[in-house]
Chain A
Amino acid sequence: MNVLIVEDDRGLARELGLFLHQERYQCDFARTGREASEKLFVNDYDFVLLDLGLPDQDGLQLLAQVRRERQSPASIIILSARGSVDDRINGLDLGADDYLPKPYSLLELLSRMQAVTRRKHGVRQDALALGGFTLNLSERTLRYGSTALDLTRKEFDLLHYLLLHRGKVLTRQQLSEHIWGSSASESTDHDSNFIDVHVKNVRKKLAQHEPGVEWIETVRGVGYRLKADATSPAA
């Protein structure tokens, strides 16, 4: 998949490109609104990652222009450090597919991109399997066979996120950013420590039905990893 990274800060663009390259995305870069317009005119992209604070133009203008002139069928995700109140609402109104305030976790960005792709291609993944468990996404429930497990909202989100990135190590920070979002809560320490509590509770609930299987593995000091599927190993 082709991604156009519209970002005036070289350092940030570089890290973003590095990460996406490893995730097998082809990245192209634009540092100004003009450059972005030109590239969008010439090339086809699946994704545009759009910074709003461009040196020559407001990113929202570019967004409006792209959507108005139907220059590109690309999905557009706004990445903004302005954090202005209206940016998110205006961005989504102007046709952006998602919005992430800076700083964001790269993993969160990847998850959002995957979600946009699924949505675009009409892939309605309703259920995810984990051993004998089924995670039902529309009902937000976890079942073992026909028995429903009593998961809290946060526990469901945690398990879902681990399942989406099955086999990869997720840091507490990545997990807490996904679960608690960027909501201006000052008790961040508390939040990331609370990930351990969530994990402990989810483990306990899973173990009640499949004792002996350590689904969520601890990676010491770093975070957690959902045990890779033995039959179809994660990419």
Chain B
Amino acid sequence: MKIRRRDFLKGVAASTLLLAAEQNPAQAKRARKDLPPNAVGILYDSTLCVGCKVCEHACKQANNKVAEHTSPNEPMWDDPQDLSDKTLNIIKRYGVEGQKDSVEGFAFIKRHCMHCIDPACVSACPASALVKNPENGVVTYNKKACIGCRYCQVACPYNIPKFEWDSPFPEIVKCQLCSHLLAKGGISACCAACPTGASLFGPVEKLRLEAKRRLGMEPGKYYDFPVADIESTEVQQHRAGGYVKHVYGERELGGSQVLYLAGVPFANLGLPDLPEDSYVALADGIQYAIYKGMVYPIVVLGGLIYIIRNREEKK
């Protein structure tokens, strides 16, 4: 008995080492994911945004969200400080504390779900309450499946999902790219409302090309800019801004369906510098190496049952 037991343990040790080798964190990543076939998204161009916040209003109207008052004074207007359980889309203005805009520059930024190509929230959710549509790639939420564990909030690299902390029956709240409007052939409410074309809806492939076109523009010269939907014919003439030569969201963490262009460094707009491989790919890779087809766990369980049974019978 002793010898067999030792052989078994040797086997376990050997396979653990193999596993460890396979599990070398640098190599455990799974392959990157591709853009869904009919992926739609938003190109937000900070240089075109005038900060009118009409998109915030349109978003609240389209998604049945109420106003929120965060200022200590008598409430006068809807003044969300950040995304919240009542605000799925927000315009923020970058400025440096104590500095004049004319010295430090300023810029608007619009924040909402990025609709990642490899979304951490979808991978994290244990109950498939967050899913990525295989056709248009929109990440949607199903409250009937959600258990409220909030792992999506921990996992989201952009801190997008919000939770209804003050409700006894809370839900997760996030931008779903107005999927209820898309289903009726429409576009997201924020883009439909945007008066300057700063928020532009459309197929991601076309938005990527449009972003590239803008990066090639000569600052100060006039160009045509599509408005609302890149597939519509409506255009406006604007002077091209001085762009930072980078399309944020094209490669970050495997890419997203929301893309950003800006005239100031993205880090200033609260968009962190991120690697091209998603953290999901790494976590999945490690889980996959260990639990591939449940082979290792079943082998280990079989071995354990074998040695424990023998031991109990000897007693």
Partners in one complex: no
Hey, which bits of chain B sit against chain A, CB under 8 A? none
Hey, which bits of chain A sit against chain B, CB under 8 A? none
